Amino acid sequence: MIAKDEVLQAQQKWAEALIEIGKLKDNRKACEERTKEKIDELYAYDLGTVLFKPTRATDTQFRGTKEGALSYFIGGNSKFSEDTGFAIQPWSDVRFENTGIILNETTAIAMGNYFFTEKGSGALKKVEYTFGYIKSPDGSLKINLHHSSVPFTPSM
């Protein structure tokens, strides 16, 4: 059975990776290499299907490939011209607030809000998320479902 602490650790690793990638934004080669490493470490593209719906994507809403995820995080791929690089914003902090976590033998799902702090301005961005995790052969959790969206704002 996957433990809640494993999910919390996977979320912490994801948050740390996003901040680390942003710190490399001025060195494109190092940034790209580290982002590829983090995608391999954190996402289950090597294990099967990954359902990835990033926050800031409208033209190509879903990223079922590692190439699509890489473009979303650091931009620079003409196939995904809308991508400016979410990870290279950069962010100084990412905090998860789980509404709930469902634990199973080899899978887990977490849903809630996460908060991104913009480096420099300190502005806080609230985003809604659902992450699904699968237990990899080495025992680590990898993301196989990533859905993020901006909270609904009703019009007056």
pLDDT digits (tens, 9 = 90+) for 65-89: 999 999 999 998 888 888 999 999 9
- When comparing pLDDT for 16 and 54, which is higher? 16
Q: Which residue has 């926050």 as its token pair? A: 55
- 29: tokens are 């080669």
- 89: tokens are 């914003």
**Residue 27 to residue 41: CA distance in whole angstroms:** 21
The percent of residues above 70 in pLDDT, for the chain, comes to 99
End-to-end CA distance of the chain, in Å? Answer: 47
pLDDT band at 8 (very low <50, low <70, confident <90, very high): very high
pLDDT at 57: 83
Q: Above 90 in pLDDT, residue 58? A: no
Q: How confident is the model over 16-23, as a mean pLDDT?
A: 96
Domains of the chain: 4-149 (3.10.450.50)
